């Protein structure tokens, strides 16, 4: 899989909503079938100098 942050929205200096483009790949690095992309939303929180996943949601993107 690959993950690319598409958009980051800081809700507070220590909390961010991150919209991600997720691509599923074969071992050779090619797209994995027709349903090879997702669109997760992660809520990240900074604690003790580290950003940690606080909540996540993942939606499959189907080809039109």
The verdict on domain 2-61 having CATH code 3.10.450.50 is yes
Report d(CA 12, CA 63) in Å as an integer.
35
Q: Is the pLDDT of residue 62 over 80?
A: no
- pLDDT, one tens digit per residue, over 31-47 is 887 667 888 999 999 99
CA 53 to chain centre: 11
- pLDDT, one tens digit per residue, over 1-60 is 889 999 999 999 999 999 999 888 888 888 887 667 888 999 999 999 999 999 999 876
């Amino acid at each position: 899989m690959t993950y690319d942050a598409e958009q980051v929205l800081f809700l507070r200096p220590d909390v961010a909503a991150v919209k991600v483009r997720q691509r599923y790949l074969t071992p050779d690095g090619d797209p994995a079938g027709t349903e090879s992309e997702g669109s997760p939303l992660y809520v990240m929180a900074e604690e003790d100098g580290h950003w940690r996943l606080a909540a996540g949601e993942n939606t499959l993107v189907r080809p039109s």
